[in-house]
Amino acid sequence: MSNILKNSWTWAATVIGAVFTVLPESVFGKCFWTKEVAKKIVVLWPSCTLIEEELNSLVGRIILAMIVFAVSVVLYGIYIVVIKNSVYIKGKNYYVQVKYGNIFRQKGWKVIPFDECFSTKIGVATADIKASSVCGQYLEQYPIDNMRQLIVNSKIKPSERNSFYQGKTRYESGVMIPRADYFLLSFAKLDKDGKGYFASREEYLQCLARVWEELDAKYGYKDVCLPVLGAGITRIGDVNPTRQELVDMMIFSYKLSRHKIKTKLKIICIRGKKDGFSLDKIGSSI
């Protein structure tokens, strides 16, 4: 809200300054209701040294400024919620775009987060991949008949420790398997019930660090698109960070990493979720 008010005031100040510069002084005191307000001020403030015409003009200016500011707040709110589609974060050696959209319609590499075992079963059980998730949507559009063969072909090595879930073979969080225009990402660890989790925020950040390293090695000078990693049902420590916090952590981690791609890194967000996320708030939780 503070950003909306601040930016709305910037817009309003620009408009008000232009209006005050262009319109003559006499215009602001011609309104009937400004004259009535001025008369009441004279009655309530007898010691006022301004003559009635000057007071009329002053009241007109104040009322105009209030109206312009109110309209600016409404218009800027509409712009943020309905029209604004992306923001850019640029630095010396990085270029990040956070945007609303469908990751499957983006150009370049698309990162699809799987669990640490590269599970492919879609269903409603605790350990199943949810059909509505990014991974679930990917598997429905591009079914994988032999994940084992993909893993072998990519030459990624399994972790020394098996997963807590049914003792399955697991892969370190952050490693990727390229498949067509997609990177299949080993992301969340699994507990004994098959729920995705990271033991702490630090562990989540370590995964992100590995993601940047993998992308740096494999991206081939194409843009890379990621969903908000961890925005599904993945637990991080004892809390569930908001989508706003996750986006900020991804940007913060990427900025600090020595592994960066020379093309654009895009973080794709779903518009319309009622979780308080706003492009205008990016950076506020760091």
Question: Distance between CA atoms of 257 and 91, rounded to whole angstroms?
Answer: 12
Domain boundary among 83, 101, 135: 83
pLDDT at site 271: 83
Residue at 184 is within a domain: yes
Residue at 157 is within a domain: yes
DSSP E strands: which ranges in the chain?
86-90, 95-100, 109-115, 176-179, 182-190, 196-198, 224-227, 235-236, 265-269
Residue 10 domain boundaries: 2-83
Q: At 167, is the secondary structure helix, strand, or coil?
A: coil
Q: Is the same domain home to 157 and 43?
A: no
With pLDDT > 70 as the criterion, what percentage of the chain qualifies? 77
Residue 22 burial by CB count (10 A; 0-12/13-18/19+): exposed, middle or buried?
exposed
Q: Is the same domain home to 77 and 110?
A: no
- How many Cβ atoms from other residues are within 10 Å of residue 274's Cβ? 5
Q: Is the same domain home to 129 and 271?
A: yes
Q: Is the same domain home to 23 and 139?
A: no
Q: Is the same domain home to 134 and 231?
A: yes
Q: Is the same domain home to 70 and 147?
A: no
pTM of the shown model: 0.76
Residue 154 burial by CB count (10 A; 0-12/13-18/19+): exposed, middle or buried?
middle
Question: Distance between CA atoms of 140 and 148, rounded to whole angstroms?
Answer: 18
Question: Distance between CA atoms of 251 and 203, rounded to whole angstroms?
Answer: 16
For the segment 205-238, what is each residue's pLDDT rounded down to a tens digit? 999 999 999 999 999 999 999 999 999 878 898 8
192-226: buried (b, 16+ CB within 10 Å) or exposed (e) per residue? eebbbbbeeeeebbbbbbbbbebbeebbeeebbbb
* C-alpha pair distances (Å), 214 with each of 94, 186, 227: 16, 11, 16
- Token code pair at residue 234: 């993945």
pLDDT at site 165: 96
Domain boundary among 52, 83, 114: 83
Residue at 231 is within a domain: yes
pLDDT at site 275: 77
Based on the structure, what is the number of domains in the chain? Answer: 2
Residues 131/137, Cβ–Cβ less than 8 Å? yes
Domain boundary among 38, 67, 83: 83
Q: Is the same domain home to 91 and 223?
A: yes
For the segment 111-145, what is each residue's pLDDT rounded down to a tens digit? 999 999 999 999 999 999 999 999 999 999 999 99
Name residues of the chain where pLDDT drops below 70.
1-9, 11-12, 19-20, 22-61, 76-83, 285-286
Q: Is the same domain home to 154 and 30?
A: no
Q: Is the same domain home to 106 and 56?
A: no
Residues 105/111, Cβ–Cβ less than 8 Å? no
Q: Is the same domain home to 64 and 97?
A: no
Q: Is the same domain home to 63 and 127?
A: no
pLDDT at site 240: 85
Residue at 219 is within a domain: yes
Q: Return the H-helix or E-strand segment holding 9.
A: helix 2-22
Q: Is the same domain home to 140 and 160?
A: yes
Token pair 């698309």 is found at 110
pLDDT at site 68: 76
- Tell me the helices (H) and strands (E) count for the chain, helix number first: 7, 9
User: CATH number of the domain that 146 lies in?
Assistant: 3.40.220.10
Residue at 286 is within a domain: no
